Amino acid sequence: MTETGSKQVSKVEQFWNAFQACVEENRVGPDRSVFYVRWAQEFVRFEPGKRLRDRTRQDVEAFLADLRERPGVSDWRARQAEHALKILYEIFIPGYAPKRTTTPAQGSEKEIPTEETGPTTSGFRDRVIPGEVERLFSPLLDAARLAPSGSNAQPWRFKIVRDQDTKLKLVQASHRQSFIADAPVVLVCCVDIEGFLNGTVSGIQDLGKIGAIEGRIVKILMDRSGQFKTMDMEQLIPRITFNLAIAVEHIALRALDFGLGTCWIRLLDEAAIKGIFGWSDHISVVALLTIGYPDESPAPRKRLKIEEILID
């Protein structure tokens, strides 16, 4: 074995040892964690030559279907394998960043085609792990759904964009900020004006019924909600968008739990974006939020000191 090949084996061992530790951190005993590693390694061998990070949800489902057809593989073993891959993709891989090692020289031992050699310098890694959107967007959007809003109006609305053609259109509608198309997923963050007006009234009534606010406050809020209907859009939109801002930041913070990075984009042409999707006037586009696995660790931006943000 060449010296380079030896280093590569060491890196692979590091990967699987780290995965086993991750499994045990997720309430799987040491007596069973070894089987989780074996199932993940079996998945590697199922499609030799294809990296784990490049595999799709269909690859996972094909492996599990094949596994269930194998003689001697009981249903509980198949479920164990499925749980192993769930931990591998949802928890372990998003946070795994080994140190870069030397690429094996030609003729050295063949690299297992599944372990990353480390991040590059682009904004987002060019990959989507199997079922990423389906699994991660449920908790991300749930974080937005549970955000507080004025009078519990909940006026936020989101469009999930994954296809490249639409992302390129969003680039053009956002003053050609090309990094938008590099993100695996873009959220178009909007407010529903009709939803806000109707939701404000029903929200105030509900809060009054359960005793969350006093009767006199209900009257004040109802009077104010009536004023909203007479405001022009320049007056009304700022009163709605702060609710969306809370929800979007909930998404951004929740994304960190999965090792995801986000970026707010406010420099955009609202009319152009509405034209892409054919939306009516009751939808107002406020921001784009790019979401993906960051491929860089930028230095912290300058921040004011605590004493600078306090008012005497």
Any domain includes 108: no
Mean of pLDDT values over 226-230: 90
Q: Is residue 35 part of a domain?
A: yes
pLDDT at 125 exceeding the cut of 90:
no
Please check whether residues 71 and 214 belong to one and the same domain.
Answer: no
Do residues 192 and 267 both lie within one domain? Answer: yes
Q: Do 196 and 281 belong together in one domain?
A: yes
Number of domains in the chain: 2
The predicted structure's pLDDT at residue 2: 52
Euclidean distance between CA atoms 312 and 310, whole angstroms: 7
Q: Are residue 223 and residue 174 in the same domain, yes or no? A: yes
**In which element (H, E) is residue 254 found?**
helix 233-256
Residue 297 lies in a domain: no
Residue 298 has pLDDT above 80, yes or no: no
Which tokens belong to 127?
A: 């990959």
100 pLDDT above the threshold of 50: no
The reply to whether 75 and 141 lie within a common domain is: no
Residue 54 has pLDDT above 50, yes or no: yes
Average pLDDT over residues 169-183: 94
pLDDT of res. 104? 37
Whether 145 is covered by a domain: the verdict is yes
pLDDT at 294: 80
Chosen domain end from 39, 74, 95: 95
Domain harbouring 77, CATH code: 1.10.150
Long-range pairs, 104-112, Cβ under 8 A, ≥24: 104/2, 104/4, 104/5, 104/8, 105/2, 105/4, 107/2, 108/1, 108/2, 108/4, 108/5, 108/8, 109/1, 109/2, 109/5, 109/8, 109/9, 111/8, 112/12, 112/44
In a domain? residue 123: no
- 75 lies in the same domain as 136: no
- Residue 306 inside a domain? The answer is no
Asked which of 75, 95, 115 is the last residue of a domain, the reply is 95
Please check whether residue 304 lies inside any domain of the structure. no
State how far the Cα of 299 lies from the Cα of 100, in Å rounded to an integer: 20
Listed residues 44, 70, 95: the one ending a domain: 95
Same domain, 83 and 141: no
Are 149 and 287 within one domain? Answer: yes
Token representation of residue 10: 């060491």
Region 274-294 average pLDDT: 93
Q: Are residues 239 and 138 in the same domain?
A: yes
The answer to whether position 28 is within a domain reads: yes
Q: How far apart are CA 124 and CA 119, in angstroms?
A: 9
- Please tell me whether residues 276 and 139 are part of one structural domain: yes
Note down the domain range covering 53.
3-95
Residue 146's SS3 state is coil
Residues 64 and 180 in one domain: no
Whether residues 53 and 191 fall in one domain = no
CATH of the domain at 230: 3.40.109.10
pLDDT band at 257 (very low <50, low <70, confident <90, very high): confident
Per-residue pLDDT tens over the stretch 11-33: 788 889 888 988 888 888 888 99
Distance CA 265, CA 188 (A): 10
* Residues forming beta bridges with residue 265, ordered by sequence position: 288
